[in-house]
Structure 1
Amino acid sequence: MTVTDQIVEPRSAVDEDAFAVPDRRFKENSLRLLGPHVWVQTQRLLIGLIRDPMTFVFGLALPIFFLVVMNIVLGDAIRALTGHSALYGSVPLVTLIGAMNGASVGILGIVTEHTNGLLARLWVVPVHRASGLIARIISDAVRVMLNSFVLLCVGLLLGLRLEQGLLAGLLWLCVPALFGMAFATMALTIAVYWPNPTLVEAITLVSAVLLFFCTGFVPLDQYPKWIQPVVEHQPLSYATEAMRGLTLGGPVLEPLTGTLVWSAGIFIVCAIPMVIGYRKASMRG
């Protein structure tokens, strides 16, 4: 038998074994694929956050600096006024502000991905449509949890104590994560309709206003009576009071309920506009 008698099968010049074969058993929007796709996208976003120096600056460096300054400047005055350390209010407040300012990193990320066309490229590959949005919210929650843990450790070094036990301390970490996810949802909703870096300055301005009109900054009775209802019922005050109660003691159920109501309200209001805006931003490229 000669060589010409043999059947030679045509082969591609590219090694087909070098590429993963996609699983075609399920459609790209199947619920069975949502979990794995969210996991992959979350890993991608977390790696990006770790490599971005602004994550450290906005999420940890500035909050730690601000916490130390607040403790030096206002610590003795608030202790004399309230009878306990100012750290029980300032540590929760700074942790929540860090969660809000850290959301600006995610905004810059989605603005960059929209500008360079990555959102459009991800839209045409076989991945679950909802995985991108869900992964962004989850990655932000992970970021807030880690930052909150570090800030809690800094507070403990400065003199904060978990008077209500370790379990309450673990629940303390969940409050900024919940609040941060809600705020990230709102910021992401605005970003998909207005992909502009100046949105970061707007977030900084909002967080500054909430900071100075919050019960974590000074006690409620120190504000003028006409503005006390606004200060008492704004979301940052609810979250701060819940976290104060979980460490120092005091009311927890009412402020925690207020935090849940605010967070759920933000999710409900922003969910549909966020999905529609994300879809349009991805399809525009």
Structure 2
Amino acid sequence: MSTATTVETADSQSVPEPDSWAGHQPLPVVEPRSERALSIWVQQSLIQCKRMLIGWMRDPSTTIQTLIYPAATLIMFRIVLGDSITTATGMPSIYGTVPMVMLVAAMSGSVVSALGFKSEKSSGLLGRFHTMPIHRAAGLTGRLLAEAIRVLITSLFVLAVGVALGFRFWYGPAASIAMLCIPILFAVGFAVLVTALATLTDGVMLVSLVGIINTLLMFFNSGFVPVFAYPVWLQKTVENQPMSTAIDAMRGLSYDGPVGAPLWKTVAWAIGMIVVFAYPAVRGYRRAAETGA
């Protein structure tokens, strides 16, 4: 029979007196991890990435923009211009149009992501995230990671359509994987640029600016027609613009042509966009979260 004394509480329940607790060990105190910790940043970036991917999957317009539109564009180029370009240049047009459509889809998808950012800002969602114990960089890095995954899915889908139209890999799995990495690298750099623009402009202006950039890059690159088909005074510009360097590297990895020089130029373009626009993007993202402006 227990000898511990008891006291009666107001609800008539008996509880041991404090001196009977002396033999119990106190629970260890677990210090919470700082919201600025690297592990927290990685974990919350993945959560933000998952949130955006689920949102895009549930949005029919995003699905159309990500999958249907690029596939339809590739088929249209093949039907309307494929044979003419092949005859005029002596090179299969599919090895230029498949990389070109991958890159155009990456750029177009960045606009959808940027408009989603504008919506989150206007609804106050960014502000609510800012008041919570969340790593300040997780929102932006999660968005860029989601962009990379979206571009990979789009590129694989475009590639599947391209294979059905005659696209083939001639240099094995390693070159194939390297080719698929190029649009992802390009997309991350372009997404940083578009995010910086999204923090500085309204939705209509953003669509107009990016639309102009997309149109110029799409019609003046080496995937649409070879560089020598352009006027002499324009050839150097076309050859060294970011879409052309990426297309040339992807063509070289899948069919024929130089790889080293265009690949390094593509890496330089991507890193350059990140370096130039990362700070405005981070500052604008923080300002939007803090003030909603």
TM-score by length of 2: 0.88
Q: Deviation at 1:83?
A: 2.2
Amino acid at match of 2:184: A
Q: Deviation at 1:128?
A: 0.6
Taking a change above 3 Å as real, the CA distance of residues 267 and 89 of structure 1, as seen in their structure-2 partners, is same
Counterpart of 1:241 in structure 2 is 248
**Which piece of structure 1 moves more, 203-212 or 149-158?**
203-212
Counterpart of 1:57 in structure 2 is 64
Amino acid at match of 2:134: V
Counterpart of 1:191 in structure 2 is 198
List alignment gaps of at least 5 residues for structure 2: 1-6, 16-29
Superposed CA offset, 1:75-119 (max 9, x none): 112211232310000000011000000111101110000000000
Give the whole-Å Cα distance in 2 for the aligned partners of 1:56 and 1:82: 35
Give the whole-Å Cα distance in 2 for the aligned partners of 1:2 and 1:234: 84
Counterpart of 1:270 in structure 2 is 277
Identity of aligned pairs, percent? 40
List alignment gaps of at least 5 residues for structure 1: 9-22
2:71, 2:157 within 8 Å by CA — same for their partners in 1?
Answer: no
Give the whole-Å Cα distance in 2 for the aligned partners of 1:32 and 1:145: 25
Q: Deviation at 1:47?
A: 0.6
Of residues 171, 181, 185 in structure 2, which corresponds to 1:174?
181
2:222, 2:238 within 8 Å by CA — same for their partners in 1?
Answer: yes
Q: What is the aligned length?
A: 271
Q: In the alignment, does 2:95 pair up with 1:85?
A: no
Of residues 146, 150, 156 in structure 2, which corresponds to 1:139?
146
Amino acid at match of 2:270: S
Counterpart of 2:25 in structure 1 is none
Counterpart of 2:135 in structure 1 is 128
Give the whole-Å Cα distance in 1 for the aligned partners of 2:264 and 2:189: 15
Q: Deviation at 1:204?
A: 2.2
Give the whole-Å Cα distance in 2 for the aligned partners of 1:214 and 1:246: 18
Taking a change above 3 Å as real, the CA distance of residues 222 and 116 of structure 1, as seen in their structure-2 partners, is same
Q: In the alignment, does 2:86 pair up with 1:95?
A: no
Counterpart of 2:167 in structure 1 is 160
Give the whole-Å Cα distance in 2 for the aligned partners of 1:184 and 1:52: 20
Higher CA-based Rg: 2
After TM superposition, which residue ranges in structure 1, 4 or more long, deviate above 6 angstroms? none
Give the whole-Å Cα distance in 2 for the aligned partners of 1:25 and 1:94: 47
Amino acid at match of 2:95: Y
Amino acid at match of 1:110: F
Give the whole-Å Cα distance in 2 for the aligned partners of 1:169 and 1:265: 25
1:67, 1:90 within 8 Å by CA — same for their partners in 2?
Answer: yes
Give the whole-Å Cα distance in 2 for the aligned partners of 1:157 and 1:43: 31
TM-score by length of 1: 0.91
Give the whole-Å Cα distance in 2 for the aligned partners of 1:188 and 1:238: 23
1:216, 1:240 within 8 Å by CA — same for their partners in 2?
Answer: yes
